[in-house]
Amino acid sequence: MRSPVTQIADLIRESDHFLVASHANPDGDAIGSTAALGHIFAALGKDFALYNTTGLPHQFDWLPLPGPLHTTMTGVESDWTFVLDCGAESRVGPELQQLMGSRAIANVDHHLGNPNFGRFNWVDDNYPAVAAMIADLADELCVPLTGHLAEAIYLGIVTDTGYFTFDNTTPRVMELASRLIRLGLQPGVVNAKIRNQWSVSRFRLWGESFATTEMFFGGKVAVAYVTRDMMARTGTDTEDCEEIVNFLRRLRGTRAAAILREEPDGAYKFSLRSAGHDNVQAVAAAFGGGGHRNAAGGTIVDSLESAKSHLVKALGEGLGLV
Ligand SMILES: [Mn+2]
Nearest to 297 by CA among 307, 278, 283: 283
pLDDT in tens, 40-89: 999 999 999 999 999 999 889 999 999 999 999 988 889 999 999 999 99
Check residue 179 and give its pLDDT.
98
pTM: 0.85
CATH of the domain at 263: 3.10.310.30
Rounded Cα distance between 173 and 215, Å, is: 34
CA distances from 79 to 89, 103, 104 (A): 18, 8, 7
Q: 146-149: which pairs have CB atoms within 8 A and are 24 or more residues apart?
A: 146/183, 146/184, 146/185, 147/39, 147/184, 148/35, 148/39, 148/64, 148/66, 149/36, 149/39, 149/40, 149/43
Q: Are 14 and 101 found together in one domain?
A: yes
Asked if 16 contacts 46 with a C-beta cutoff of 8 angstroms, the reply is: yes
Asked if 104 contacts 119 with a C-beta cutoff of 8 angstroms, the reply is: yes
Burial class for 217, CB neighbours closer than 10 Å (0-12, 13-18, 19+) = middle
Asked whether the predicted pLDDT for residue 175 surpasses 90, the reply is: yes
Tell me how far the alpha carbon of residue 40 lies from the centroid of ligand 1, in angstroms. Answer: 19
Mean pLDDT of 166-184: 96
Q: Are 70 and 104 found together in one domain?
A: yes
- Of the pLDDT bands very low, low, confident and very high (cuts 50, 70, 90), residue 104 is very high
Amino acid letter at 196?
Answer: N
Mean pLDDT of 162-173: 94
Final residue belonging to a domain, choices 139, 168, 195? 195
Asked if 17 contacts 79 with a C-beta cutoff of 8 angstroms, the reply is: yes
Tell me how far the alpha carbon of residue 247 lies from the centroid of ligand 1, in angstroms. Answer: 19
pLDDT in tens, 192-244: 999 998 999 999 999 999 999 999 999 999 999 999 999 999 999 988 998 89
- Number of other CB atoms surrounding residue 299 within 10 Å: 17
Nearest to 247 by CA among 205, 289, 197: 205
Q: Where are the beta strands (DSSP E) in 139-206?
A: none
Mean pLDDT of 115-128: 96
Q: Are 33 and 114 found together in one domain?
A: yes
CATH of the domain at 166: 3.90.1640.10
Q: Are 105 and 127 found together in one domain?
A: yes
Check residue 3 and give its pLDDT.
95
CA distances from 257 to 10, 215, 242, 252, 261 (A): 42, 9, 14, 11, 13
Check residue 74 and give its pLDDT.
86
Asked whether the predicted pLDDT for residue 1 surpasses 80, the reply is: no
Q: Are 114 and 260 found together in one domain?
A: no
pLDDT in tens, 249-267: 999 999 999 999 999 999 9
Q: How many helices (H) and strands (E) does the chain have?
A: 12, 12
In percent, how much of the chain has pLDDT > 90? 92
Tell me how far the alpha carbon of residue 306 lies from the centroid of ligand 1, in angstroms. Answer: 30
Q: Are 14 and 136 found together in one domain?
A: yes
Tell me how far the alpha carbon of residue 233 lies from the centroid of ligand 1, in angstroms. Answer: 31
The full length of the chain comes to 322
Final residue belonging to a domain, choices 164, 195, 226? 195
Tell me how far the alpha carbon of residue 217 lies from the centroid of ligand 1, in angstroms. Answer: 30
Tell me how far the alpha carbon of residue 86 lies from the centroid of ligand 1, in angstroms. Answer: 8
Q: Are 211 and 186 found together in one domain?
A: no
Rounded Cα distance between 220 and 149, Å, is: 40
Q: Are 55 and 165 found together in one domain?
A: yes
HSE (side-chain half, CA atoms, 13 Å) at 67? 22
Quote the DSSP letter at residue 155: H
Which residue range(s) make up the domain with 269?
200-318
Q: Are 122 and 211 found together in one domain?
A: no
Q: Are 176 and 205 found together in one domain?
A: no
Please state, rounded to an integer, the average pLDDT across all residues of the chain: 96
- The arrangement of strands across the sheet holding 290-291 comes to 214-216, 221-226, 256-262, 268-274, 295-300, 290-291
Domain count, the chain: 2
Q: Are 19 and 151 found together in one domain?
A: yes
Sequence-distant (≥ 6) Cβ neighbours of residue 152 within 8 angstroms = 32, 33, 35, 36, 39, 63, 64, 131
Tell me how far the alpha carbon of residue 20 lies from the centroid of ligand 1, in angstroms. Answer: 15
Q: Are 184 and 263 found together in one domain?
A: no
pLDDT in tens, 288-297: 999 889 999 9
Rounded Cα distance between 212 and 205, Å, is: 11
Tell me how far the alpha carbon of residue 128 lies from the centroid of ligand 1, in angstroms. Answer: 7
Final residue belonging to a domain, choices 195, 215, 245? 195
pLDDT in tens, 263-282: 999 999 999 999 999 999 99
Check residue 269 and give its pLDDT.
97
Quote the DSSP letter at residue 266: S
